[in-house]
A and B are shown apart, each in its own frame.
Chain A
Amino acid sequence: MAAAIAETKGGPSRPSTYGSISRSRKRALVWSYFFLVLFAIFFLMPPIYMFITSLKTSQEISAATNPWWVFNPTLSNYVELLTSNQYLTFFKNSAIISIVVVTITMLVSVPAAFALARMKFWGSATLATGVFLTYLIPETLLFIPLFKTFAFVYEYTGIQLINNWWVLLVIYPTLTVPFCTWIMIGYFASIPKELDEAAIIDGASYFQTLTKIFIPVALPGIIAAMIFAFTVSWAQFLYPLAFTTSTDQLVLPVGIITTLIKGDVFNWGQIMTGALLGAAPPLIIYAFLMDYYIAGLTAGATKG
């Protein structure tokens, strides 16, 4: 009897699933796709427009034709930019600064996070909160005091910090180190305590525990922090605008607007091309490290 019931239940004559989970799941999926497509269009519009504009000549840009269509595609914008020494200098400056800043940030924030997460010392909890609080101070509040400080340094030591691209190597970490340290504290805190205890008993020093256990285990978090630091320094606009002025010292975002906007003449074709090429490195890095980045983000989401 029981077997017979089981058979009819599992049989093909199963009643359709009105109001069942699969139905509500389907509806949820439809809405998910609807909004995903909506947001994809919304966010992809600017880069697509940039791309379209970058293929046009100045005449076509200013002509009253359909702005979403290229009638006479040309690569002249690309050729001009990539053969101009200025643009390549901006690109090089940006690249060197970003790479060095990422390196400095990692060298500071990984050991700092390890110390704050694991070596319980007097005031470590307060210090960890303090690190995060410094991140909350907006850079717009800081550039004038920093300017004053640089003037002060020049007055007393004769070292000219203003209008040198390498000074950005000192300033950018003030933005990246606090946040990266904060991410890494959370990530390191999610590593079970027994792991470092096992390492200590195995004979590892603090430094070896960090390099041989913590860094490999927390690699997704470290990569997430690196991507963050890279993006911040690559896209930084205010500080380079304030602290560098000569064209050979400029970074990409500032360089594009200072050299391609001449008075009230906007060289839109080249501006769009420059911005598009400038957006490429972060995009490539994201694409390659996306899986790690997501793993890092979710780890941060579940653990303080």
Chain B
Amino acid sequence: MAQVTLRKVVKKYDDTLAVRGIDLDIADKEFVVLVGPSGCGKSTTLRMIAGLEEISDGDIAIGGTVVNDVPPKDRDIAMVFQNYALYPHMTVYENMSFGLRLKKVAKDEIKRRVENAARILDITELLARKPKQLSGGQRQRVAMGRAIVRDPKVFLFDEPLSNLDAKLRVQMRTEIKKVHQKVRTTTVYVTHDQVEAMTLADRVVVMNHGLIEQVGAPNDLYHAPKTKFVAGFIGSPAMNFIPCRLEENSGALTARMGEVSLPLPASRTERYKAHVGRDMLFGLRPEHMTERRPYANGQAQDFAVTVDVVEPMGMETLLYFRINGEEVSARVEPTSAVAAGEVMPLAADLAHMHLIDPKTDKVV
């Protein structure tokens, strides 16, 4: 059993707060991804769990024991670094067995474990090589192998794929997920890439400015973001935020955005009533602004825009245009024949809309 618990954890560097008191419960066998822009404190948090950074305040517990003052080697963790951090003078076998040799594990046992890990990662034929004879992806596998052989309570990954090229990154992402499904070890994974976060995580922790913005399953974060930051961070291209004014017309609410005016679904009336007459932000993802087609939920609203830029992506086409002075993107079928400067009739699927209070940046 290896839950990881963070209680009001703070990291202070001189006068700057890198992590400002975060609480997090990571369940046994769970794969949790910390994601956020650079400088949000995600790596610092991971390094505090590893014991590479001291905790300024709060508690970190691994498997129920508070480890604040426990040195890294006694925390029973393994870490995979962004630049692999393989020992350049050792072979792959020696790299993977280094920790076990220090612990004076029996030779047969070391051999068994290294060979087992090598089999999981498909690097058996590389065991005799030196790191410089390996490609980036192979080095990353070895780094993971070094973590696996130790059979730790917790795996820590610090942006392990950032040094790989785009194609390999996607491949290794799947690899990491497969490995986790095989070894089922509690994993904390840090990345700045929201796609990695979404694809790998059981739960995603979105961090910003040293605080946790939201914790949730990937789909929850996507569909029900709690703050403007999460709404904008998760999803690519990012969610559109359009300044709007909430108006009431005989019981029905309308979001007025310049010349575009969208009647909001009746089901949202109760939720948004308190904000009538105020300037709000209307949030809608590009994939929920499409060409007009029959929507099953009946909550699509038609509008028309003059298209500024057309970006065909193959599987879809991105349109850019302005609503109420804000640049907005929409995803349409690649078959839609539309050119820049043309007027395009679109439909907004308001079942997926969000209303954000610009004063608090919270989704209401």
Contacts and interface: CB of A to CB of B under 8 A. Distances in A.
Contacts of B51: 201
A201 B102 contact: no
B232 interface: no
16 contacts: A192-B83, A194-B81, A197-B50, A197-B52, A197-B79, A197-B85, A198-B81, A198-B86, A198-B146, A200-B72, A201-B51, A202-B98, A202-B102, A203-B73, A208-B102, A213-B87
Given A217-B87, A217-B88, A200 B102 contact: no
A105 B73 CA distance: 32
A41 interface: no
Contact of B72 (A194, A195, A201, A216): A201
B81 A197 contact: yes
Contacts of A276: none
A201 B50 contact: yes
A217 B77 CA distance: 25
B182 interface: no
Contact of B85 (A198, A203, A204, A212): A198
A161 B204 CA distance: 71
A230 B71 CA distance: 40
Contacts of B86: 198
Nearest to B84: A194
A201 B78 contact: yes
Contacts of B271: none
A202 B146 CA distance: 9
Contacts of A203: 73, 99, 102-103
SS of B interface (majority): loop
Given A198-B146, A200-B73, A217-B89, 10 more contacts: A198-B85, A200-B71, A201-B50, A201-B52, A201-B99, A202-B150, A203-B73, A203-B102, A204-B73, A217-B88
Interface string B322-362: 00000000000000000000000000000000000000000
Contact of B79 (A201, A204, A208, A216): A201
A91 to B, nearest CB: 36
B2 to A, nearest CB: 16
Interface in B37-76: 50-52, 71-73
Interface of B: 50-52, 71-73, 77-79, 81-89, 98-99, 102-103, 146, 150
Contacts of B103: 203
Interface of A: 192, 194-195, 197-204, 208, 212-213, 216-217, 219
Nearest to B147: A201
Nearest to A218: B89
A192 B88 CA distance: 11
A220 to B, nearest CB: 11
A258 to B, nearest CB: 47
A195 B51 CA distance: 15
B293 to A, nearest CB: 43
Contacts of A216: 89
Nearest to B74: A203
Top 6 A-B residue pairs of the complex, sorted by shortest distance between their CB atoms = A202-B99, A194-B85, A203-B73, A198-B85, A216-B89, A194-B81
A202 B73 contact: yes
Contacts of B50: 197, 201
B136 to A, nearest CB: 15
B218 to A, nearest CB: 28
A195 B87 contact: yes
A133 B185 CA distance: 52
Contacts of A192: 83, 85
Contacts of A197: 50, 52, 79, 81, 85
Contacts of B82: 194
Contacts of B146: 198, 202
A204 B81 contact: no
Contacts of B81: 194, 197-198
A194 B72 CA distance: 14
Contacts of B85: 192, 194-195, 197-198
A204 B102 contact: yes
Contacts of A212: 98
Residue of A192, A197, A208, A212 contacting most chain B CB atoms (<10 Å): A197
A99 to B, nearest CB: 26
A217 B73 CA distance: 22
Residue of A199, A216, A217 contacting most chain B CB atoms (<10 Å): A199
Nearest to B156: A201
B88 A198 contact: no
Contacts of B83: 192, 194
Nearest to B97: A202
A192 B84 CA distance: 10
A200 B71 CA distance: 9
Nearest to B50: A201
A75 to B, nearest CB: 46
Contacts of A219: 89
Contact of B77 (A199, A201, A208, A213): A201
A217 B86 CA distance: 11
B188 to A, nearest CB: 14
A253 to B, nearest CB: 38
Residue of A195, A201, A216 contacting most chain B CB atoms (<10 Å): A201
Contacts of B89: 216-217, 219
Contacts of B84: 194
A195 B88 CA distance: 9
A202 B84 CA distance: 14
Contacts of A195: 85, 87
